[in-house]
Structure 1
Amino acid sequence: MIRAGILALLFIAPVAQAANGSWTSQSFGGTLTRGQQTLKSRPIQAASALPKGAVATRLSWKITPDGPTPVGFRIQICSGHRCVALPGLRGEITLPAGYPAAGPYRFEYLSVARGPLYPPLGVLSNQITVEYRVN
């Protein structure tokens, strides 16, 4: 009887723990030619389906521009109609509740400068890693 109880606990314990995972993907960004213009990247999402109940927890990103960024350059990561400001070209943040674990995500770039940007800013690549947990 005791032996059966111990065996049952061994099989139940792993199921009760939360699982963790992550995915990484990238896209190109495009070219920002004018100030006061918003450039949106192509959507980025997980390449395959995530486990049911996956909740996004952290986001790491790396943006590769083709040159220096203009004065007042701003970056945000968006999913649906929700956006979070990013403090630089690379980093890691804890995502607010409600961001989807599988995406899609897109970057939005803005320069607060007025008029044409010289030289134009090309965003060569956007890379993200989304960490998630499954309860």
Structure 2
Amino acid sequence: MLIGLAFHCLPASAAEPVPQALSLHRKSVAFPSEVVTASMGAGGARVTGSWVNSTNGPAVIHRGVIYQAAQIVPTGSMMVKPASLVRRVNWRYSFLTPVPHGLRAYLCNYVRCIALSGAAGTTTAFDGDSAYSNFSFAFVIDGNGGLSPALQGHINYVAVNYE
């Protein structure tokens, strides 16, 4: 799979910066040759499935600045159809260094960003959005100024259940 690993840093302009929905242009994705394409069953029954993927988390070096991680692209044993709809998303993020007070985390797709309640969980906030969408985590730490030491991102993970 080919994924761009560039991290983006968005300057915060408000007292409480919140990331915006992402402009998620499809990255180049090479699916393995053993991928099986899902098809509708007899009678037009809906095909359900899930895809799971992860990226490295960003380093957060300044308070009050939104740091967006690399986009997480759909993958899995079945190719996701563009018409597939998200039903539930499980998430998990972690850091290699201690998390300072005031961390706010968000999960974003092409339509919206949602505030996350903790380092792991499940949401139906993306219900009805295309399952053929990239996701990205965004992090901001309340306040201003540099962090010492920097908050070093580790793994950002999503599992997207769709039909």
Determine which of 62, 80, 83 is the counterpart of 1:34. Answer: 62
Aligned residue for 2:43, secondary structure, equals helix
Q: Following the alignment from structure 2 to structure 1, what is the Cα–Cα distance between the partners of residues 110 and 127?
A: 14
| Aligned: 1:15 with 2:25 | no
Determine which of 62, 79, 86 is the counterpart of 1:56. Answer: 86
Q: Following the alignment from structure 1 to structure 2, what is the Cα–Cα distance between the partners of residues 115 and 52?
A: 42
- Point out where structure 1 has 5 or more consecutive residues left out of the alignment: 1-12
| Aligned: 1:102 with 2:132 | yes
Report runs of 4+ in structure 1 exceeding 2 Å deviation: 13-19, 95-100
Larger-Rg structure:
1
TM-score for both structures, normalised by structure 1: 0.80
Q: Following the alignment from structure 1 to structure 2, what is the Cα–Cα distance between the partners of residues 120 and 99?
A: 34
Larger mean CA deviation between 90-99 and 117-126 belongs to 90-99
TM-score for both structures, normalised by structure 2: 0.67
| Matched letter for residue 15 of structure 1 | G
Q: Following the alignment from structure 2 to structure 1, what is the Cα–Cα distance between the partners of residues 129 and 114?
A: 10
Alpha-carbon offset, residue 99 of structure 1: 2.6
Cα distance 1:105–1:57, how it changes in 2: closer, same or farther (>3 A)? same
As a proportion of its length, which structure holds more helix?
Answer: 1
Q: Following the alignment from structure 2 to structure 1, what is the Cα–Cα distance between the partners of residues 112 and 83?
A: 20
Q: Following the alignment from structure 1 to structure 2, what is the Cα–Cα distance between the partners of residues 57 and 97?
A: 5
Aligned position for 1:127:
157
As a proportion of its length, which structure holds more strand?
Answer: 1
Count residues in correspondence: 121
Aligned residue for 1:54, secondary structure, equals coil
Aligned residue for 1:15, secondary structure, equals helix
Alpha-carbon offset, residue 52 of structure 1: 5.0
- Point out where structure 2 has 5 or more consecutive residues left out of the alignment: 1-40
Alpha-carbon offset, residue 97 of structure 1: 4.2
Q: Following the alignment from structure 2 to structure 1, what is the Cα–Cα distance between the partners of residues 161 and 138?
A: 21
Higher RCO (C-alpha 8 Å, min separation 6): 1
Superposed CA offset, 1:49-77 (max 9, x none) = 41353100111011120122121101111
